[in-house]
Chain A
Amino acid sequence: MGNISDEVKDKSTGDNELIYKYNRELFYHFDKETGFTQEVDYQNPNNQVIIKQSWDAAEQRLNEVKQLVIIGKLSPIAYYMEKILMEVPMLAAYMEISGWRVRRHLKSRVFKKLNQEILARYAAIFGITIEQLTKPDFLG
């Protein structure tokens, strides 16, 4: 699982400057004179602002969760779950266990007692090793 949020952040935006130029899409337009027309172009700057908004919000959430993991309130699972933009019901679906079990695993007290098999399944979903899961680099 890649660090997509890393790829799209770090790009500052000025007025009317395009942030995302990976692919041009098809858009429709309407004008009384010309009727309905189609055009292939990048998403316009205003819409790019609102795409960026949701990535910024995700990054902010991730930082908040990171602080809670550092002070020991949440387990690293909470951090990696946020990192791949998941919430508990979706992670539970990938783990094929119930939501309340995932919610328990978010407590660092419970996390410390998890067996290797469960840890390995989480690590596989997050695309990391068990070592990275139990000792994220920001914990030093």
Chain B
Amino acid sequence: MTYIAKPKVAHPGLPRNKLGLTSRDYEGTVSTLCAGCGHDSVTTAIIQAVFELNIEPHNLAKMSGIGCSSKTPAYFVSQSHGFNAVHGRMPSVTTGANAANRDLTYIGVSGDGDSLSIGLGQFVHAIRRNLNMCYIIENNGVYGLTKGQFSASADIGSKPKKGMANQQEPIDSVSTALSLGATYIARSFSGDKEQLVPLIQGALLHDGFALVDVISPCVTFNDHEGSTKSYAHTRQFYHQVVDMDYVPPAEELKVAYDDGEAMPVELHDGSKIVLRKMDKRYDPTSRASSFKYLRDHFNRGEITTGLLYLDESRKEMHDLMGNVDTPLARLPLESLHPGADELRKILKRYR
């Protein structure tokens, strides 16, 4: 993760949002992820989503843990505070941050390793509290920085670059969130910006815990034939990759499809994944029927995407606790204790 600032030169004709800012004002430093990484597409989608929502940069807080995904908050909205926490612990930091200041907009970017292995406990407990945040999982089924181990979201039968195919049941963030009562659950694909941007916008605007699981392929370590989280990106001489600088560039994928259709995405290496847009029969307000639908389609090898569940009625963390509307961090300290006389009264009990 090098730190390269982008030149701040913008075309005078760039569109401005209601704050008078251009999309360039929502950019971060130059990404150091592998060229063609799905995560960079998610970063672009986040920039567009925040720009279009007219969020003041300093009122956005960017939270992450450890991993390729967790580096990305450096690559968007430089004028926001970022918190790159320890591995798997972004949810707890965000919980504390939100407890202190409920007025900020919290966007957490995590990965399948960060959220579903080391951080599974914190992930599920943030859902239980209905923490008001947009929680993005950039899901590629693999550990990139440590060079290619399966993550907990790897599907049964998915093949690694070397060694045996995965035989363990995957942990699916969407059905996990559904079972725990998350109030906004979406799944998308990094190559489908058209679908992803509105889903992120909805998540940012949702009052409570909003999960956006984004299939975001790893072009370097999970891009071969037989991988279920793959673009099956062809690359010769790949076994040498130790230094990321040697990874050749790949083209971004773009897909677009109509409602109600299963969409086989043909990747440039010729393999396919199947994306399914929300069916007209799908009821995103019923946990039980959503769960069944998702499992049925999963068993057919399809990945269901879109806004999968929504419950706007449940209160978020502060309201569940009955906390004041003012951010706690902004209350003057002298207003938070009853003073010397009252202390004397309190201590009478201990005589």
Whether chain B is bound by chain A comes out as no
Please give the residue numbers on chain B whose beta carbons come within 8 Å of chain A beta carbons, in ascending order: none
* A residues with CB within 8 A of B: none
